[in-house]
A and B are shown apart, each in its own frame.
Chain A
Amino acid sequence: MAGAEGDDSLYPIAVLIDELRNEDVQLRLNSIKKLSTIALALGVERTRTELLPFLTDTIYDEDEVLLALAEQLGSFTVLVGGPEYVHCLLPPLESLATVEETVVRDKAVESLRKISQEHSPVDLEVHFEPLVKRLACGDWFTSRTSACGLFSVCYPRVSSTVKAEIRQHFRTLCSDDTPMVRRAAASKLGEFAKVLELDYVKSDIIPLFTALASDEQDSVRLLAVEACVSIATLLPQEDLEALVMPTLRQAAEDKSWRVRYMVADKFSELQKAVGPEITKNDLVPAFQNLLKDCEAEVRAAAANKVKEFCENLPEDSRETIIMTHVLPCVKELVSDTNQHVKSALASVIMGLSTILGKDNTVEHLLPLFLAQLKDECPEVRLNIISNLDCVNEVIGIRQLSQSLLPAIVELAEDAKWRVRLAIIEYMPLLAGQLGVEFFDEKLNSLCMAWLVDHVYAIREAATCNLMKLVEKFGAEWAQNTIVPKVLSMSNDPNYLHRMTTLFCINALSEVCGQEITTKHMLPVVLKMASDQVANVRFNVAKCLQKIGPVLDSSALQAEVKPVLEILATDQDMDVKYFAQEAISVLTLA
C-alpha cells in the first residue's frame, strides 16, 4: 500500500469509517449506506475479520441505521469473498434478527433468506441451519418469530434428517407460549407448506393449521385464514373436503368479527383455491352470511368482493347463483345502515352489469343504481358515478341520465370541498360517456361555476378539467363554448378570478393551438400586464413564459417582448423576477 507519507486515497474511506460511530444519526446512516465502499477498501479478509465483528456489536444503534445495515448485508456476499465465505454474514444478521423493532427484524430475515441461496448445501447444514435452530430456541420471542421466516428457505436444500428437525421446530413454534410467535408461525404456515412434500403437508401441516385456526387468540386464528388459501391450493381436490373445509367453515362463522372479516377479505383467493364445486356448495351460503353479518366491517369487506366473487363463479351456474343467492343480499345492502358498507358496494356494484347482461341489468340492477345515486352519503353517489363506464358498455348511459344529472348537480354543489373535488375529477369521464350535446346543455355551466369556487383546490382542479374537456371535444368546441367565458373573467373585480383566467390560459393554450392562443388569449394576457395587483402581473409573466412556445416568433418579438420588458422594470420585485425569468427562458433578451 502507501508509503510513510500517507495515502490520500484512504482519506475519504477513513472519514466513512469514523462516521460509523459519529454522534449524528444522519452521518452514521450515510456511512452504513456506503458500507460496500468501506468493505471494498478494506478487502475481503479485513471485512471478514474486523468490519463484520464490529457490525455484529452495533445493535444498540437507531432503528433506521439498523434497518439500513440489515439491508446492506443482504448483498454483501461478494465483499466477504464470495459464496465460500457467505456464512461470515450470519452473526451480524443473527443479532439483527433479535432486535425489538419489527421492521429491522423483518429486513434481517429478508437478507438471511437472500443469502441462504448463496450457501452451498454443505454450508447450509453446517452454518445456516444451526442459526435457524438457535433462533427457534431463543429465549425471547423476537428471535423465535424471526426463525419462522427461515424454515422454508433451508428446508428444500437439506438432508432428510435435518428436514425432520426443521419440521419439529416449526411444530414447536406453532404451539409457542407467546401469541407473537404463534402469529409469526401462522403467517408463514402457507409458505412452509409449499416447500414440504405432499405427505408431510397432510400429516404435519394440516394438524398445525387446524390447531392455529382454533387458537384462543383471534389475532392468531385470523392468520390461519390466509394459510388456508395456500394449503388448499396444494392439496388435491378430493382431500379438500376432509382436510380444509371444516376449518374454513368454522372460520367463516367464527365468534370474532376480525376472523370473519379476514374470510371476507380473502374470499376471492379462497374461492379460486377450493374450486367450483366447493364454491357452489359451501362458499355461496358462506358469502351470503358474510353479506348479512352483524358487524359492519365484515359486511363492507364482503360487499367489496361482490363483483369478483360473481365473476369467478362457474359459468354454467353463474347467473342462477347471482340471481337467487347474491342479488337478494345486495339489494339489502343498498339500504344498509352503515355508509361504509354502502360505499363499498357502490364501488363494485356496477361491475355486475357486464356479468348479468343487458336485460337483467335493466330489470334488476338499474333500480339499485338509481337508489344509490340518491343515497344521502356523497361517497356512495361518487362511487357509482366513478364506475359509470361499466354500465355504459351494457345498457348505454342514457338509461341513467335522468337520475344522473340531479346527483351530479348535488355533488357539484356539496358543502364539502373534497366532495366537489372528487366529482370534478370524474367530469372528463362523464363528458366522454354522455356526449358533447348533453354536456353543453347540462354540465357546462357547472364546470364554469367551479372556476369561481372560493376554494383554491377546486379552482385549480376546474382549470385542469377544462383542459381535459378540450382534449375530448376539440379546439373548435373550446373556442365556441369555454374560451369566451374564461376570457371574460379577466375583467372581474376579484383579482383571484382574474388570476383564474391566467391559470386557464396556461392549461388551455397548448390544447387549443396557436391560432386561438394568438388571436384570442394573448391580447387578454397582455392587457392584464397593467393590472393593479402585483400577483396578477407576475402571473402574466409566468403565463407568457408558459404560452410562449405555442406562439410564433413574430408575435413573441412584437407583442410579448415589449410587455415583458416593461414588467422587468416593475417596482414589485416578484414581478421583476418572473418577467426576467420569462425573458431568459423564451430567449428574448
Chain B
Amino acid sequence: YIGAGGGANDVQWCFSQVKGAIDDDVAEADIISTVEFNHSGELLATGDKGGRVVIFQQDTENKSLPQCRSEYNVYSTFQSHEPEFDYLKSLEIEEKINKIRWLPQKNAAQFLLSTNDKTIKLWKISERDKRPEGYNLKEEDGRCRDSTTITTLRVPVFRPMDLMVEASPRRVFANAHTYHINSISVNSDNETYLSADDLRVNLWHLEITDRSFNIVDIKPANMEELTEVITAAEFHPHQCNTFVYSSSKGTIRMCDMRASALCDKHSKLFEEPEDPSNRSFFSEIISSISDVKFSHSGRYMMTRDYLSVKIWDLNMENRPVETYQVHEYLRSKLCSLYENDCIFDKFECCWNGNDSVVMTGSYNNFFRMLERTQRRDITLEASRESSKARQVLKPRRVCAGGKRKKDEISVDSLDFNKKILHTAWHPQENIIAVATTNNLYIFQEKVN
C-alpha cells in the first residue's frame, strides 16, 4: 500500500486503543489537558481538567507480539491537584493539570512533575509487592492478643503480595508564580527544572521547594505598557545552560544561563519577518506561538502557531528552515474563529523518535503528520467510527474551496468543538497518543 497522500516514511497507522468514556455527555473534569510519554515510552501519562493524573503502562506480556506492543493499560490514577482559593487575591485556582513532565529514571520508582496554574508537584510512582506480617500484641486482622501471654518477641516478616502501585507527593513547589504557569521543563543536568508563566521564568532545584531563581522577567514596570507574554519555555535536551521561551508576538528567545544569573538579555532571537501582504487584524493573534519543542538531536526546534508549524535550525535566527501549513484553509474563517474564541486555542506539537516527522493537532478531531525529508504530510482522524482493532486509518482531506471531490470534507462541515490540542509520540517507536476532548486514542504503525 502506498497511499496517495503517503505518510510518515509510508507508515500506515492503525488503531490500537481508545481510553475514556464513550457517551457524548462530556464531564468538564474529564477533559484531557496534557499527554506525555516517559523517557522509555513504557509509561504514558495524561492529566485532566479535574486535576487527575492517569498513568498507562505498556502491556509487558504482549510486548513481544509486534501487533500488540502499543497496548497500554491503566497503571496508576491519582488526584494530583485540588481546586483551591487564593483568599488574598480572591481568585479561584483551578485544579486543571497544565503540564506533566517525566524525570529521567533514577531508581526503580518513577517520578513526574505535574503543574496547574500555580503549583508544581513532584510525584513518585512506585511498586510494592511485599508487605510486613506478624504483630506481637494483635492478630493480623486487628484483634488484640492478651498481652499477658507474650512469651517471646516476634519480628515482622515481609511476605509477597499482589503488586500495588502507589503515587505519593514528594515535593510541592508553590508560591513562585503570580501568573499562570504554561510550561515546565526538566534540565539535562537532572537536578534543576524551569517553570514559566505569562511574564516570568523561574529556575528550581528539584530538591529545594522553598526558593527558586527568577531567570527571565518581562513584566514592564507599568502594566499598561505590556505588549507580549511568554507562551511556552523549554530547556535544550543536552546543553544544560540553554533554554528558549516563545512569545505571543511569534518570536522565540534563546538564553544562555552561563552568561549571567538573570537572563534578561537573550543570546538569540528567532523571528521571521512578517509578510506584509498577509497582514490583517488577526495577524498578531495567529502568530502567537502556542508550543515550542526541541528536536531530540538538539539541533532544531519546532514552534506551533495557529495556522502553521515551523522548524528552526538553532544556527539560523532570521527564518525557519521549514514551514508547514497545518490548516491553511482556516485563513478565510478567522473572523468566525475569533468570534467563537477558537482562534485562541493552544495547539501543541511533537517530534517522532528520530526527528524525521512532526505531529500536531487540528479541528474535527483531525491531526496532522508532517514528514520532513519528503516534505509530505497526511491528515488523520481520531474517531470512534474507525476504532476497530488494528484498523488502518484512512487519510482525510479538507476541501479548501472550489468543487468538493469525493471523500473530501468541506471546511464548513468541520466541527470546531472537536479539537486535538495534545498529542505525544513514543520516544523510540511508532506509537502515538492523541487526546480528543475526553478520550485518549493510541495508534501504532501497522505491522504485517
Contacts and interface: CB of A to CB of B under 8 A. Distances in A.
A168 interface: no
Nearest to B145: A14
A296 interface: yes
Interface residues of A, number: 52
A14 B150 contact: yes
A46 B155 contact: yes
B191 A219 contact: yes
B403 interface: no
A15 interface: yes
Interface stretch (B2-10, B59-67, B133-141): B133-141
A41 interface: yes
A114 B387 CA distance: 62
Nearest to B104: A178
A180 B191 contact: yes
Contacts of A178: 104, 190
Interface in B107-141: 107-109, 111, 124, 126, 128, 130, 132, 135-138
Given A6-B148, A258-B258, A295-B260, A51 B155 contact: yes
B156 A54 contact: yes
Contacts of A51: 155
Given A7-B150, A11-B150, A295-B261, A100 B111 contact: yes
Contact of A102 (B138, B207, B239): B207
Contacts of B154: 14, 17
| Category for how many chain B residues contact A | 35 or more
Contacts of B191: 179-180, 183, 219
B147 interface: yes
Contact of A42 (B124, B138, B153): B153
Interface string B254-293: 0001111100000000000000000000000000000000
B107 A142 contact: yes
A219 B147 CA distance: 57
Nearest to B109: A100
B152 interface: yes
Contacts of A255: 258-259
Contact of B147 (A14, A20, A50, A179): A14
Contacts, number: 122
A18 B104 contact: no
B158 interface: yes
A98 B108 CA distance: 9
A10 B153 contact: yes
B241 interface: yes
A226 interface: no
B17 interface: no
Contact of B151 (A4, A143, A295): A4
A6 B158 contact: no
B148 A60 contact: no
Contacts of A218: 240-241, 258
Given A15-B137, A140-B108, A295-B261, A57 B130 contact: yes
Contact of A257 (B104, B108, B136, B260): B260
A57 B130 CA distance: 8
Contacts of B107: 98-100, 140, 142-143
Contacts of A319: none
A179 B158 contact: no
Contact of B259 (A53, A257, A296): A257
A217 B189 CA distance: 7
A230 interface: no
A216 interface: yes
B158 A7 contact: no
B185 to A, nearest CB: 16
A217 B153 contact: no
Nearest to B259: A257
Interface string A287-319: 000000011110000000000000000000000
A18 B111 contact: no
Interface string A209-233: 0000000111100000000000000
Contacts of B260: 257, 294-295
A572 to B, nearest CB: 34
A13 interface: yes
A257 B261 contact: yes
A484 B259 CA distance: 61
Contacts of B241: 218, 256
B128 to A, nearest CB: 6
A295 B158 CA distance: 56
Interface string B206-242: 0100000000000000000000000000000011110
Interface in B129-184: 130, 132, 135-138, 147-158
Contacts of B138: 18
Nearest to A13: B153
B240 A219 contact: yes
A57 B158 contact: yes
Contact of A17 (B106, B155, B239): B155
B136 A14 contact: yes
A102 B207 CA distance: 8
B109 A18 contact: no
B135 A10 contact: no
B76 interface: no
Nearest to B108: A140
A143 B108 CA distance: 11
A6 B106 contact: no
A2 B149 CA distance: 10
A204 to B, nearest CB: 26
A94 to B, nearest CB: 13
Contacts of B258: 218, 254-258
B105 interface: yes
A342 to B, nearest CB: 17
Given A54-B132, A100-B111, A140-B105, A5 B148 contact: yes
B181 to A, nearest CB: 24
A511 B154 CA distance: 63
Given A295-B260, A295-B261, A54 B111 contact: no
Contact of A1 (B106, B147, B151, B239): B151
A42 B155 CA distance: 9
A50 B155 CA distance: 6
B254 to A, nearest CB: 15
A99 B126 CA distance: 12
A120 B332 CA distance: 83
A274 to B, nearest CB: 25
A141 B106 contact: yes
Nearest to B138: A18
A18 B153 contact: no
A41 B136 CA distance: 14
B190 A2 contact: no
Given A98-B107, A180-B190, A296-B261, A17 B207 contact: no
Contacts of A60: 126, 128
A18 B155 contact: no
B153 A20 contact: no
B77 interface: no
A140 B126 CA distance: 15
A188 to B, nearest CB: 17
A527 interface: no
Interface of A: 1-8, 10-11, 13-15, 17-18, 20-21, 41-42, 46, 50-51, 53-54, 57-58, 60, 98-100, 102, 140-143, 178-180, 183, 216-219, 254-258, 294-297
11 contacts: A3-B151, A4-B151, A5-B148, A14-B150, A42-B155, A54-B157, A102-B207, A179-B188, A179-B191, A219-B189, A255-B259
Given A10-B150, A17-B136, 20 more contacts: A6-B149, A6-B151, A8-B148, A13-B153, A14-B136, A14-B150, A18-B137, A20-B132, A21-B135, A21-B156, A57-B130, A99-B107, A140-B108, A143-B107, A180-B106, A216-B240, A218-B258, A255-B258, A257-B258, A257-B259
Interface of B: 104-109, 111, 124, 126, 128, 130, 132, 135-138, 147-158, 188-191, 207, 238-241, 257-261
Q: 9 tightest CB-CB pairs across the interface, nearest first?
A: A256-B258, A14-B136, A50-B155, A57-B158, A140-B107, A6-B148, A142-B107, A219-B189, A6-B149
